[in-house]
Amino acid sequence: MSNQSSATAGALPAASTTPADAANTRKALLQEIRVKWGKFSEQELDELKSNDDLVTQLVAKYGLAKDAAQRDADAMRSGRDI
């Protein structure tokens, strides 16, 4: 019998993010953006490369103040990066 504690005996390695996971997360986030802010075309969504790009587009398309756009974008992203 092993003397390992039950806490470490079945421990899983730290989760790693694969490129497929990142792509699925991005796809889900872009879908949520599309639903919330319908003025984005598919091409515009595909061209978003950063969170700052999203804020810039929200200011341009919806006339939001930058701080309001930043707050809305941060709430939508929930810690996920584009």
Per-residue pLDDT tens digits for 20-44: 888 899 999 999 999 999 999 999 9
Q: Tell me what the pLDDT averaged over the chain comes to.
A: 84
Determine the Cα–Cα distance for residues 30 and 80; give it in Å rounded to an integer.
11
Amino acid 17: pLDDT: 75
Domain ranges of the chain: 39-82
Give kind and range of the element (H or E) at residue 35. Answer: helix 19-36
Q: At CA 43, angle to CA 52 and CA 53, rounded to 5? A: 5
- Decide: 81 and 51 in contact? Cβ < 8 Å: yes
Measure the N-to-C terminal CA separation of the chain; round to a whole number of Å: 48
